[in-house]
């Protein structure tokens, strides 16, 4: 277990299930004091009770101060994990785009805004962003998700390069399919693109712990994503042509 986890005050948003619950369990197993946040109060309480953590229900954007107070005034690790899987195209309703921006990007910005003054004063703090491989690549059939996950990645990257010399550590977790409720909800596009290589949420927690140990920003629970990311950068048109083939294949399954 990672040394820095023992005794640490940790907040995990969206931890009532899926990846967030796996992260909360892993931090608690390592001896951390964990705040389990979720919009769903019952699910947050169930996970908190299971791991001896503290449940703080509510919108991830609104609970940062309450979560910090619950940890005695100091957050050592903040996991911005809550996310919405917003599918759809340019025609998705404005409310779908707005929710995706709010949860997938602005909740991270707001948390950082609240936490940074203390972290900079102390010269330490760790911000973990559960992004997605869609934040490096894309997800067919899901424009709001792809765009806002690129935003989440860009924000994590910006935080890291801006504050790393002042002791702030940032990690961006970018998995492909993970077997959670969100994956179930992705429908035929998820069946085609994500299900075949889907991993368990515990594997994401393993990857984060390894990334913390190795002090790495980019955490890829599916290592093959590194190659796709390189291919996209090296030849964008070729990469988009290949993704378009996938799009066309998906259209025949719909």
Ligand X SMILES: NC(=O)c1ccc[n+]([C@@H]2O[C@H](COP(=O)([O-])OP(=O)(O)OC[C@H]3O[C@@H](n4cnc5c(N)ncnc54)[C@H](O)[C@@H]3O)[C@@H](O)[C@H]2O)c1
Residues that bind ligand X (CB under 6 A): 13-14, 16-20, 37-40, 43, 59-60, 81-84, 103, 130, 132, 175, 177-178, 180-183, 194
| Least separation in angstroms between CB 121 and ligand X | 27
Residue tagged active-site, from 145, 153, 163, 228: 145
Pick between residue 226 and residue 241 the one whose CB is nearest to ligand X. 226
Q: How far apart are CA 235 and CA 133, in angstroms?
A: 18
Pick between residue 32 and residue 194 the one whose CB is nearest to ligand X. 194
| Least separation in angstroms between CB 66 and ligand X | 12
Pick between residue 18 and residue 211 the one whose CB is nearest to ligand X. 18
Q: How far apart are CA 100 and CA 95, in angstroms?
A: 9
Q: State yes or no: is 145 an active-site residue.
A: yes
Q: How far apart are CA 249 and CA 222, in angstroms?
A: 23
Q: How far apart are CA 225 and CA 5, in angstroms?
A: 27
What value does the CA radius of gyration of the chain take, rounded to a whole number of Å? 18
| Least separation in angstroms between CB 49 and ligand X | 16
Q: How far apart are CA 137 and CA 116, in angstroms?
A: 29
Q: How far apart are CA 81 and CA 23, in angstroms?
A: 9
Pick between residue 84 and residue 156 the one whose CB is nearest to ligand X. 84
| Least separation in angstroms between CB 166 and ligand X | 26
- Show which residues are catalytic: 145
């Amino acid at each position: 277990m990672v040394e820095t986890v023992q005794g640490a005050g940790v907040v995990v948003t969206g931890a009532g299930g899926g990846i967030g619950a796996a992260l909360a369990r892993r931090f608690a197993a390592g001896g951390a004091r964990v705040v389990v946040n979720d919009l769903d109060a019952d699910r947050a309480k169930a996970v908190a009770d299971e791991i001896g953590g503290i449940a703080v229900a509510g919108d991830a954007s609104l609970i940062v101060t309450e979560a910090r107070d619950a940890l005695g005034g100091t957050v050592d690790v903040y996991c911005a994990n809550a996310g919405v899987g917003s599918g759809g195209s340019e025609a998705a309703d404005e409310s779908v785009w707005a929710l995706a921006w709010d949860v997938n990007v602005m909740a991270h910005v707001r948390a950082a805004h609240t936490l940074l003054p203390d972290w900079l004063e102390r010269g330490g703090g760790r911000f973990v962003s559960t992004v997605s491989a869609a934040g490096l690549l894309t997800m067919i059939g899901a424009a709001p998700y792809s765009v806002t996950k690129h935003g989440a990645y860009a924000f994590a990257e910006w935080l890291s390069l801006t504050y790393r010399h002042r002791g702030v550590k940032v990690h961006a977790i970018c998995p492909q399919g993970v077997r959670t409720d969100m994956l179930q909800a992705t429908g035929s596009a998820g069946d085609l693109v994500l299900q075949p290589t889907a991993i368990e949420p515990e594997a994401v927690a393993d990857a984060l712990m390894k990334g913390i140990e190795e002090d790495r920003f980019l955490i890829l629970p599916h290592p093959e994503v590194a190659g796709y990311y390189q291919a996209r950068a090296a030849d964008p048109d070729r990469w988009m042509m290949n993704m378009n083939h996938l799009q066309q294949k998906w259209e025949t399954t719909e």
